[in-house]
Amino acid sequence: MDLKLTPVSMPTSIRPSSGVKPGGAGSASGASGGFVGELKSALGTVSAAQNESSRLQREVQMENPKVSLEETMVAIQKAQIGFQATLHVRNRMVQAYTDIMNMQV
């Protein structure tokens, strides 16, 4: 499981040289790729890893000879690490939002 986020270019609607266009920064859901796309992709990867580890756990419990215990344990650890990374990103985003909301204007 690879959780690296690839660098993306800043959308033209919010580049400092061009100024902020109406509907630019607020329409992140309409942007193809960008932060929202990478976040959805990362969440999908974490979800797929969790689903795969659950499937392997069921197969081991049903004593399927084609699925090894080692493979299952590695899949479980990958899913846990991905979930913990996602949780840390979420906590950082919430903290950043809280810091911005508490700034005095």
- Confidence band of 85 (pLDDT split at 50, 70, 90): very high
Kindly state the average pLDDT of the residues 74-88: 94
Q: Mean of the per-residue pLDDT values for the chain?
A: 79
What pTM value is reported for the model? 0.62
pLDDT of residue 32: 62
The pair of three-digit structure tokens given for residue 29, joined into one six-digit string: 């859901």
Q: Is the pLDDT of residue 42 over 60?
A: yes
Identity at 25, one-letter amino acid code: A
CA contacts within 13 A on the Cβ side of 74:
6
